[in-house]
Structure 1
Amino acid sequence: MNIWKKFNRKEDPRIYENKDGHLVRSLKVKDILALGVGTIVSASIFTLPGEVAAMHTGPSVAISFILAAIAAGLVAFAYAEMAAAMPFAGSAYSWINVVFGEFWGWVAGWALLAEYFIALAFVGSGLSANFRALIAPLGWKLPASLSNAFGTNGGIVDIISVISIALVAILVLNGVSRVARIENLLVILKVIAIVLFVVVGATAIKHANYVPFIPKYRETSNGAFGGWQGIYAGVSMIFLSYIGFDSVAANSAEAIEPQKTMPRGIIGSLIIAVVLFVSVSLVLVGVMPYSDYANNAEPVGLALRAAGHPIVAVVVQTIAVFGMFTALIGMTMAGSRLIYSFGRDGMLPKTLGKLDNKRRPNNAVLAITFIAILIGAIFPFAALSQLISAGTLIAFMFVSLGIYPLRRREGRDIDDPSFKMPLYPIMPFLAFLASFIVFLGLDQQAKLYAGIWFVLGVIIYLVYGIRHSSLNKKK
């Protein structure tokens, strides 16, 4: 078999059904919704709106969130159909492996792997920043060496980030059903904190802070600011806020009645997230001039203190810190299931695809935890956000186009799902186009790192994956 045929050899969906049948199906709609909301409404809602407003959009940051939500929403419909038709572990990796072929599945999965690694480090950094701001009024302050990433402002390791990621790993190692109960509780607390900020902050809004709502365009050291150019730059920067529905799909092999559970969980969590993001953004820029949020990783607390509500700031930030654990849980679960899928198929060492005696992919959990901690120790908070979006957008483009070959096989060798992407064949192309446009808006550093990650992935595939793939054993 020549190399091109190996690139395009497709996995039989029945094989994945058999392999993933060993995983325990215990997640209900409420659990999937909690995972989605908990992952989407993560550190980004407490950190990014202020930073994006200061760097690119001014008061119009809410428009960037809405446009990013439209782009993400188009892809979410594709994800919902894929997850209903093929409820396998590994989400986009497994789906693309079935509909396009092994190499393309590897590329999509490898791109998502970057998302999970970096997202864990990103959320850990955000949690650390909010926790340190929370304890500062008590006179407790960690030394710079234990507060920042290596080489950043005298930092050696962000110890709070490391501890939080490790604690979540211990929790996930103990099983999905127990994690789901904790996740549901934390998500409820986090939504209460967000609503509390919106209600209290709304009383301190100053109309002057909204004028002009879309500042005049100019170029800055951070790129475009103001005008539609700045809003577009904001869309690319905050797109990571909506990537959580991919982490939901990665757990579809552990969902009860995935044909109903997955579409409801994916689309429902995105709708809830849009409402919360837009509300926080509008209040945030209304309370304080947007420029005051520059280089600040805890703008929600800053805004409440400036509005004369320090006690509410403490309450909101306390809940926010605990709430950020929901995103860490969601990303750890999704990333470990992706790594498990790689090991299951021989694309990475098979030990990563093994289950323990309680049918849990704990080798994969340990792997993603170690690498996320390592990344968080090297890269500072501000350098991580767009790098997450780059990997995710590549996978989104694959999934959007994957609807076309999927439709031809539904009802044949793939189950005919009860949920299907509407306005076929137009909407899959629009989802691809929206993801591509957002990808073009990423900064050059993000594209460079995405290119380096892609090359590294191709090398690993050619050196290891193509030789150890489980498809080699089939005649």
Structure 2
Amino acid sequence: GNSVWLSFIIAAAMAAFTGLSYCELSSRYPDESAEYIYTRKAFRLSALSFIIGWVLILAAAFSASTVAIGFAGYFFELFGTPIPAVAAVLLLLLSIVNFCGIKESAKLNVVFALLEVVALVIVIFAAVPYLGSADYFSTPAGGVAHDFGGIAAAAALIFFAYIGFDTLPKVSEETKNARKTIPKALLYSLAISTVLYIIVAISAVSVMPWNELAASKAPLADVVLRAGGPALGSVISLLALFATFSTVLIILIAGSRMIYGMSRRRALPEVLSCIHPKRGTPFIAVFMIMILSMLFVYMGDITMLASMTNIGIFIGFLFVNAALIALRFGDEGRPEFRAPLNIGRLPVTAVLGVIASVFLLLQFEPVVYFYEFLVIAAGMVAYLLLRRQEKKRRFVFRFNRH
């Protein structure tokens, strides 16, 4: 309903709990394998940390293919081009950018991010004459007091808009003074996103009834179309098209660095950690995540891909928060950033992050849990095969030494 902006606030709070855990852990361990190294240090269970890394690598591939299909869908509406082919070409082009280097990727990503902000600002300004025309606390059930469960459930769906802050720790080793820079960047990104999303949500329900927005395939474009006319609506559609570039590029960078980080620690085959001599990028890992993403594009079911993305990421969030709690009672250390609100050594925000993650994990259809079980089972098989191969390699090495 019109109270959707409250759902954005709840989703932001849930994101902030886990975001603070990422801040502290990334300042402790500025490593590109991120969640893998956090869980390895916290629980010292190689199988668990491998499965978490495996789940998140596949979640990155699911996510990249989901957004690429979304881009191709917009493209199809404009030019009638085949969706799988356009999505695959987008993944190829952005993988080439990823291969070229983190500086080149960062510059291009800044351009795309600015275009996204411009689009949101246009929506806000177009809606200014309509502000105050709606009841911002109304819901389908008759008001916030009668429909808080619906607002909370909507927050679980909206949470996808905040996903992305977890990618920042995966470029720690390519960031100057990462122990301080990554936590700051993560907090700023969450704060700015939250403010923009809340204002845009209020703007949208001011211009159009919530039920029309819910039925729209391109709600923000329709808002601007109604408030600013066809020309401005077309501009928003075009900006939204280019804004998806940013999302796909970030996901591909994060996924490739996760593969590289795990490979460097011998959790994955060492060939995946090869660095290109001229570009300085993990080129085999870059093209591995591209190939995985392209394969999932041809699944065709964007709803299932999005669900598989979310469930994988929420599993990662659950264990990131749990890892911080475990580390606080184990290796205390002196991180550059320490999550606030503590009872002794217990980080309250991480506990709330665990609760939020469990809540989010309970929002899926049964078929999604089944598919995620298959992902985890495949990961366990891969772990056992790789471990067996590593034992053979060590045996041969020791035999040759003697």
Pair in the same fold by TM > 0.5:
yes
Tell me which moved more, 457-466 or 355-364.
457-466
What is the RMSD computed on CA atoms of the aligned residues?
2.5
- Tell me: CA distance 1:430–1:251, structure 2 relative to 1, closer, same or farther (3 Å): same
Alignment check: 8 A CA contact 1:87 1:252 kept:
yes
Alignment check: 8 A CA contact 1:84 1:263 kept:
yes
Alignment check: 8 A CA contact 2:3 2:136 kept:
no
Residue matched to 1:25: none
- Counterpart secondary structure, 1:207: coil
Alignment check: 8 A CA contact 2:252 2:289 kept:
yes
TM-score by length of 1: 0.76
- Counterpart secondary structure, 2:3: helix
Q: 1:469: how far off?
A: 7.6
- Tell me: CA distance 1:420–1:466, structure 2 relative to 1, closer, same or farther (3 Å): farther
Q: Which amino acid aligns with 1:403?
A: L
Residue matched to 1:419: 337
- Tell me: CA distance 1:62–1:251, structure 2 relative to 1, closer, same or farther (3 Å): same
Residue matched to 1:192: 118
Alignment check: 8 A CA contact 1:348 1:465 kept:
no
Alignment check: 8 A CA contact 1:232 1:441 kept:
no
1:300-311 residue pairs with structure 2 within 5 A? Answer: 300-311=220-231
- Tell me: CA distance 1:233–1:324, structure 2 relative to 1, closer, same or farther (3 Å): same
Q: 1:296: how far off?
A: 4.2
Q: 1:391: how far off?
A: 0.7
Indicate which of 290, 312, 325 corresponds to 2:210.
Answer: 290
- Counterpart secondary structure, 1:379: coil
Residue matched to 1:37: none
- Tell me: CA distance 1:422–1:308, structure 2 relative to 1, closer, same or farther (3 Å): closer
Alignment check: 8 A CA contact 2:98 2:249 kept:
yes
Tell me which moved more, 259-268 or 287-296.
287-296
- Tell me: CA distance 1:337–1:470, structure 2 relative to 1, closer, same or farther (3 Å): farther
Indicate which of 49, 61, 83 corresponds to 2:4.
Answer: 61
Q: Which amino acid aligns with 1:380?
A: D
- Tell me: CA distance 1:235–1:446, structure 2 relative to 1, closer, same or farther (3 Å): farther
Alignment check: 8 A CA contact 2:61 2:296 kept:
yes
Residue matched to 2:80: 141
Q: Structure 1 CA distance, aligned partners of 2:93 and 2:50?
A: 30
Residue matched to 2:59: 115
Q: Which amino acid aligns with 1:318?
A: L
1:79-98 residue pairs with structure 2 within 5 A? Answer: 79-98=22-41
Structure 2 residues not aligned, in runs of 5+: none
1:463-474 residue pairs with structure 2 within 5 A? Answer: 463-465=385-387, 467-468=389-390
- Counterpart secondary structure, 2:80: coil
- Counterpart secondary structure, 1:386: helix
1:30-429 residue pairs with structure 2 within 5 A? Answer: 58-101=1-44, 102-133=46-77, 135=78, 140-142=79-81, 146-147=82-83, 158-204=84-130, 207=133, 210=135, 213-216=138-141, 227-294=147-214, 296-358=216-278, 359-407=280-328, 408-411=330-333, 416-424=334-342, 425=346, 426-429=348-351
Structure 1 residues not aligned, in runs of 5+: 1-57, 148-157, 218-225
Q: Structure 1 CA distance, aligned partners of 2:185 and 2:391?
A: 32
Residue matched to 1:431: 353
- Tell me: CA distance 1:213–1:116, structure 2 relative to 1, closer, same or farther (3 Å): same
Q: Structure 2 CA distance, aligned partners of 1:111 and 1:353?
A: 19
Alignment check: 8 A CA contact 1:236 1:442 kept:
no
* Cα deviations by residue, 1:375-432 (Å, 9 ceiling, x for unpaired): 1221333333332221111111111111133333243xxxx22211112312221211
Q: 1:269: how far off?
A: 0.5
Q: Which has the higher helix share?
A: 2
Task: Give aligned-pair identity as a percent.
Answer: 26
- Tell me: CA distance 1:88–1:125, structure 2 relative to 1, closer, same or farther (3 Å): same
- Tell me: CA distance 1:287–1:238, structure 2 relative to 1, closer, same or farther (3 Å): same
Tell me which moved more, 379-388 or 251-260.
379-388
Q: Which amino acid aligns with 1:256?
A: K
Alignment check: 8 A CA contact 1:240 1:386 kept:
no
- Tell me: CA distance 1:470–1:119, structure 2 relative to 1, closer, same or farther (3 Å): farther
Q: 1:176: how far off?
A: 0.6
Alignment check: 8 A CA contact 1:346 1:470 kept:
no
- Counterpart secondary structure, 2:62: helix
Q: Which amino acid aligns with 1:334?
A: A
- Counterpart secondary structure, 1:65: helix
TM-score by length of 2: 0.88
Alignment check: 8 A CA contact 1:131 1:318 kept:
no
Alignment check: 8 A CA contact 1:169 1:332 kept:
yes
Q: Which amino acid aligns with 2:105?
A: V
Q: 1:335: how far off?
A: 0.3
Q: Structure 2 CA distance, aligned partners of 1:212 and 1:73?
A: 24
